[in-house]
A and B are shown apart, each in its own frame.
Chain A
Amino acid sequence: MLCQECQKRVATVHLTRIINGEYTEQHLCEQCAKNKGEFDFSHNPFSLQSLLTGLMNVDSQTLMGFTPKKLQCNNCGLTYAQFGQIGRFGCSECYQAFGERLVPILRRIHGSTQHVGSEPRRAGGAVKLRRNIEELKQQLQRLVEEEKFEQAAVVRDQIKKLESRATDGGKKDV
């Protein structure tokens, strides 16, 4: 959702106010909320917008010369630059199109880069699950060799979770 005030940045501050007896919902970006002095109660640990732009700047510097002119999703037409501006994907294929660039962004937002929850039955579980576990094990080994123990611990926990799911047959266990 875009900020109602500037229509540019992603709204991360959501307020329900009562003005003249009317409930109104306000959706503002962090900056506009600050400008309006309405930031005292929202405990947003990060601003998605500044996070995205921050990461993308780093990205474009380090990858200069390697980056194709226009990284774009063929399915919906959204460019990576637009994604950075609005903080939203255009369709499910964008995830594939933007590929590895999403890794640092999603890690910053969620502290993880591997889904461990339920999956649709038709995604057809068990085989893929094992492949995922294998990949993570290799990643774990690399991290240990590089002495990145904190990250390694996270990956190790993910492997545990996936392994317990593999023994459940990959089904929802609620």
Chain B
Amino acid sequence: MFNGKKVKTSKWMSSAGPDGEIVLSSRIRLARNIKGLPFPYLASDSQTEEVKKQVYAIYQDKALSQQFGNMSFLSMHKLSPLERQVLVEKHLISPMLVKENHNAAVLLSDDEAVSIMINEEDHIRIQCLLPGLQLEQALAEANRYDELLEEKLDYAYDERWGYLTVCPTNVGTGLRASVMVHLPALSITKQINRVLSAIAQVGLAVRGLYGEGSEITGNLVQISNQITLGQSEEEIVKNLFGVTRQIVEQEAQARQVLLNEGRDRIADRVNRAFGVLTHAWLLSSQEAMQLLSEVHLGIDLGLIKEIKGEVIKELMVLQRPANLQLMAGQSLDAFERDRIRARLFRERLAQ
């Protein structure tokens, strides 16, 4: 049934990291452009090729591998649509990189923690993605790559406006810091909307993973900074870190309330979810995300002991359509995917 390729486990999926029960991942993204060259959406093929060539030359230089070990240079047009979509589902590249143009590429570190996107919205986007709440670490890592690139590339920079970007909302530091948080208890106790609107009021952006209806699927929320000009990288990261810590506290309190006021009820709920996940024959992606969320909560609360949270985190990615099809080694229609998905859970979670 799974005769296709094995999906490589990216660093962010492989372990929990600090505050990893609630913060699934931390991401830093730096937007950079090359001075004078038209931005990708306006550039000719030969101009985007020029950007790609310049980064390719860095990839081939010994300094890169000496400092960062082996990296892979993947041209988007050489990958199958499925392989590209797998990278998107693993959060290693943006959906935009797949869409934009012919000379889109990514330079990927061996542990898949760092991806340098070429010819996305901006010429260069350096991303570092780590498990748990590790914003400072991710920034430090992204900076190391940025410094190496900066030695070879003529970055577009202005004393007043900072790093010049395609969109005025990114100018300055070019930094977008974000965390993906898992908030099942705030959702069950119906506090989530209050918490999320409070976050929006302090100038951070909140994005949910939507289902049909307005429920947030899998109780996963992404929080990121909006302002990139007039604050230093450290301030931006510190601010997001502080707010994230508060959300972690609130979710932890809500979890305690669930345990104190209805231990049997929550134990019943998460174990039922575990039962369905390990015995169902057909599972839609949406149902699977909801069940995985509840099982993750069960593990965090010590109510499900057979498996580890990281296994669930990885399954959240593996159950997505492109990942399933790559593993199956064939394209699958929606019904077949539901069947293979259920089988994936039965195999991975069976003891």
Contact = CB atoms under 8 A, between A and B. Distances in A.
Interface string B204-216: 0111111110101
Interface of A: 1, 10, 14-23, 25, 40-45, 48, 75-76, 78, 87-93, 95-96, 102, 105-106, 109-123, 128, 131-132, 154, 158, 161, 165, 172-174
A92 B156 contact: yes
28 contacts: A1-B121, A16-B209, A18-B209, A18-B285, A18-B286, A21-B321, A21-B338, A25-B95, A40-B214, A41-B210, A43-B196, A89-B165, A90-B42, A91-B36, A91-B38, A106-B168, A109-B168, A109-B169, A110-B228, A111-B230, A112-B229, A114-B229, A115-B163, A117-B232, A121-B147, A122-B150, A161-B232, A172-B147
B229 A115 contact: yes
Contacts of A14: 207
B258 interface: no
Given A43-B196, A90-B38, A117-B162, A106 B173 contact: no
Nearest to A135: B160
Contacts of A117: 162, 172-173, 175, 231-233
Interface of B: 33-39, 41-42, 89, 95-96, 121, 136, 139-140, 143, 147, 150-151, 155-169, 171-173, 175, 196-197, 199-200, 203, 205-212, 214, 216-217, 226-234, 284-286, 289, 320-321, 334, 337-338
Given A18-B210, A119-B157, A174 B233 contact: yes
Contacts, number: 184
A23 B229 contact: no
B172 A78 contact: no
Contact of A95 (B161, B199, B284): B161
B36 A92 contact: yes
Contact of B212 (A19, A91, A93, A158): A19
Contacts of B41: 88
Contact of B39 (A15, A44, A89, A158): A89
A87 to B, nearest CB: 7
B205 A44 contact: yes
Contacts of A17: 210-212
